[in-house]
Amino acid sequence: MVFLLGTMVTEDYVVRAASVALRPLATADYPAWARLRGSSRDELVPFEPKWGDHELSRAAFRLRVKTRQRDASEDLGYAFGIFLSPDHELTGGISLSGVRRGVTQSAELGYWMGTKFTGAGLMTEAVGAVVRYAFGQLKLHRIEAATLPHNVASIRVLENNGFQREGLARSYLEINGAWRDHIRFGLIESDIRAMTTSHFAGGRS
């Protein structure tokens, strides 16, 4: 749980891994978030929905935080900042959106990483952590993800975490002002159990 004391945030992370820890962003995170997003803009824009004129403003960030808090309280979505452990530096973001209950029990995975932190395996670790959270605390059955066909780094992150390609979705998302095809990926809880069993079996051979 994250406790907000005025505008201060205690470092009580929801999910921890070896090199990163995840917690929801709070208003006190705005300076670090704005610096990281701003310095990474050229690399992020080609892979994200079109940035608005006030994308990095404090008001837009506050609205983002408020919306994500409401989504979590209503079990609609869960979003986290990705922080280096143990120095607490913000490196990116990750989310489980569009949570569907009933007979589906699924959510959509999304993520971004600041330019200075790419290539170090941090996102692979963060995705693994949020997958454990989704199948553990949230009791989901399935996690879905989509990536542009040329986004090799993102594809590698998903495949390293056991996601399987499920097909091409034509004109799936509007990215940077244009409708783009995406490769669809899926991961179900039994995939993780199979990967764990395979890992331990390989270690004994």
Whichever domain contains 87, its CATH number is 3.40.630.30
Q: Residue 198 corresponds to which tokens in the numbers above?
A: 């395979």
Residue with tokens 């869960």: 78
Q: Does residue 111 contact residue 123 with C-beta atoms inside 8 Å?
A: yes
> Using an 8 Å Cβ cutoff, are 36 and 90 in contact?
yes
Q: How far apart are the first and last CA of the chain?
A: 41
Per-residue pLDDT at 198: 56
Is the pTM for the entire model greater than 0.95? no
How many structural domains is the chain composed of? 1
pLDDT under 50 in the chain at which residues? 1-10, 200-201, 203-205
Q: What range defines the domain where residue 131 resides? A: 4-204
Q: Which amino acid, one-letter code, is at 7?
A: T
Q: Rg (Cα) of the chain, in Å, rounded? A: 17
Give the whole-angstrom CA distance, residue 78 versus residue 175.
22
